[in-house]
Amino acid sequence: MRCHMEKTEKELLDRAKRPGKIAMSWHPFYRGKTEVIAKCRVKDLSDFGVWYTPGVAEPCMAIAGDPMQAYEHTNKWNYVAVASNGTRVLGLGDIGPLAGYPVMEGKALLFKYLGGVDSTALMVDTKDPDNFIETVKMVAPTFGGINLEDIRTPDCFYILDRLRKELDIPVWHDDQQGTAAITLAGIINGLKVAGKKLGDARITLVGAGAANICLARTLMKAGAAPGKLVIVDSKGALHSGRKDLEKDSGKNPHKWELALATNSEKITGDIAASLKGADVLVSASTPGPGTIKKEWLKGMAHDPVVFAEANPVPEIWPWEAAEVGVKIFGTGRSDFPNQVNNSIGFPGIFRGTLDVRASTITDEMHIAAAYSIAGTAEERGIGADYLVPTMEETDVFINTAVAVAEKAMEQGVARLKRTRQDLRETAEFMISSSRAKTKLMMDHGFIPEPPEVD
């Protein structure tokens, strides 16, 4: 048995390394993943008299008279910046803006292909959060939305909070709200499979970075009991007696606020102590294996829901969890059931946000997205091995877009009022046309086949 497990682990590790090997061949072959291409008529050169001088002066004057006309005369209505300084890239850490560029360009590709949202990487060469904020504010007129990405903690909280207040376009941090939305969707359906309710569940979050801090706040807004929520950082469970957190509250107030609001029993100690009696475990921590020990899971409640979200190796392997009776289990990987991945959420969330010209993305909007994602899976029939949709299920992005847009209109942050049918038709068209254009360029050789990799 041990030999088989070691072989399986080696195979999985080899499989996890293969995309990186292919990436080193395909990235230089294409020299990037996105490009700018015309979407307007250019029948002959005389058309440039309309698109550029002298004709362009008329829409310029229209915008000068009414700034909202920019949404009618430019691509601002569908254009999102993926803004990052590269201080916390994936599992790579602080590698800087230039080295983080491939990740943000990949994010832009996902925006376009999955959500029909035009996007570009915006790499900002500063570690000073105030400089970062001012840079984004200065370029914000170009865009209809800002997606913050891979920014270190606690800077990411400060940057998001300020930009949300100071800009009149939606600002979102996918490592916070995106992870919270898809994880909440998984928890909703996981608890349904287990026959439990969110308000009654004891939930343990391992890791107190951007993802789990936002998830904790989202869970409480969605109906989880704050006192039954326990968050664990590298020094143990968060609680009101943690003097180190109180001392550091000026720099990182979010952890201290959660220490005061959660863990009413004042559970102390390590991960194992925090898992006793827990119905749900979400780990967004150090890649494993071994970060979460299988024997610790034995102390959880019956039919627990466990998400080990670290990449490329989850904090505990699925088969290790299965050995101690865990049946409802998810990871961030696509080669196991129940992939908890932001890519299922943000394309549809931004699609809906842009389609009603929302001024912000509220917490309630990304919670509405979570319930829509969960509902899309439930319509197909959820079970231990199917809690959330996959990226292949296009309707999840359409359903999410409609749910988010409707919530924005309900909350009064939408500048446009649209019917559900109109929203659905728009999302369907934008997403299907994006994929069709990509296929058309591939079919005609404008996007050539990359070289094979052994």
User: Which residue(s) pair with 236 in the sheet?
Assistant: 233
Q: Which two tokens stand for residue 362?
A: 């509220």
* 52 in active site: yes
Catalytic residue among 76, 79, 107, 112: 107
Catalytic residue among 10, 17, 52, 266: 52
Rounded to an integer, what distance in angstroms lies between the CA atom of residue 331 and that of residue 282? 10
CB of 188 within 8 A of CB of 367? no
- C-alpha 72: how far from its chain's center? 28
* 107 in active site: yes
3-state helix, strand and coil shares in percent for the chain, rounded to the nearest 5: 55, 10, 35
List all residues 6 or more positions away from 240 whose beta carbon is below 8 Å from its beta carbon: 259, 260, 263, 266
Rounded to an integer, what distance in angstroms lies between the CA atom of residue 218 and that of residue 233? 18
Cβ neighbours around 17 below 10 Å, total:
11
CB of 279 within 8 A of CB of 203? yes
Q: Which two tokens stand for residue 220?
A: 């409480």
Question: Where does residue 61 rank: exposed (0-12), middle (13-18), buried (19+ CB within 10 A)?
Answer: exposed
Rounded to an integer, what distance in angstroms lies between the CA atom of residue 34 and that of residue 112? 9
Of 225, 292, 313, whose CA–CA distance to 261 is shortest? 225
Active-site positions? Answer: 52, 107
